[in-house]
Amino acid sequence: MILNNNIAVQALLDREAIRECLYRYCRGIDRRDEEALRSAYWPDATDRHGPYQGSAAGFIDWALGKLKTSDARIVHRISNPLIELQGDQALVESYFDAIQEETDAEGRPVEALLSGRYLDRFERRGDEWRILARTVVYDRMRHVITTQVLTAEAFGVRQPVGGQHPVDPLYEFLGRVG
């Protein structure tokens, strides 16, 4: 009976470690936190993400290159992670919703509303779980032209506002400024 309890507890710990990794990815991409983003993938991981297909390291370089040149605000929410543990591998389907500020071909501000799923193959190395291969499946997408760009001033008295690493209030809260 103790062996079965140990296996059940380990499965709970594994699932929680996988969820934490998924959340770290969202923080990394939304805050443009390169360290958090890279910590979600193994160095030899792959990513098939919209127009990008290749190494996860290449995806991170590509995405941060696009995002760091902009003050655009993005938010990812992740839910419904279904985790199928297979020893030191796990197959994980997670739903995501993303809101991203972009500009259209005429330079107008646009909100891109995206929904879909991450199909991830996770791998445990030592005691750590990370993404080894990701495929992003898009289920919904809508572009809405907006008249308001979300600058800090647009929030008025609703302060503080979110920002990029390291100036987002999160990093001071965590004691990791700089």
What is the number of structural domains in the chain?
Answer: 1
What Cα–Cα distance (Å) separates residue 100 from each residue in 23, 81, 118, 147, 170? Answer: 17, 22, 17, 15, 20
Kindly report the CATH number assigned to the domain that includes residue 124. 3.10.450.50
Query: What is the residue range of 123's domain?
Result: 2-173
User: What is the identity of the amino acid at 44?
Assistant: D
Q: What is the pLDDT of residues 114-126, one digit of tens each?
A: 999 999 999 999 9
Q: What is the DSSP string of 91-121?
A: EEEEEEEEEEEEE-TTS-EEEEEEEEEEEEE
- How do beta strands 128-145 and 41-49 pair? parallel
CA distance 122 to 83: 10
Answer yes or no: is pLDDT of 5 > 90.
Answer: no
Q: What is the pLDDT of residues 78-114, one digit of tens each?
A: 999 999 999 999 999 999 999 988 878 888 888 889 9
pLDDT given at position 150: 66
The phi, psi pair for 31, rounded to 5°, reads: -95, 0
Place of tokens 């600058």: 151
Residue 164 domain-assigned (yes or no) = yes
Residue of 78, 65, 152 whose CA lies nearest to 114: 78
Residue 71 domain-assigned (yes or no) = yes
Greatest alpha-carbon pair distance for the chain in Å reads 66
CA distance 29 to 112: 15
Answer yes or no: is pLDDT of 161 > 80.
Answer: no
Query: What is the average per-residue pLDDT within 33-53?
Result: 97
pLDDT given at position 2: 62
Residue 111 domain-assigned (yes or no) = yes
Residue 82 domain-assigned (yes or no) = yes
Answer yes or no: is pLDDT of 178 > 60.
Answer: no
Q: What is the pTM of this model?
A: 0.88
pLDDT category of residue 152 using cuts at 50, 70 and 90: low
Residue 178 domain-assigned (yes or no) = no
Which residues, listed in sequence order, are joined to residue 78 by a DSSP beta bridge? 96
The average confidence (pLDDT) of the chain is 90
Residue 36 domain-assigned (yes or no) = yes
Answer yes or no: is pLDDT of 24 > 90.
Answer: yes
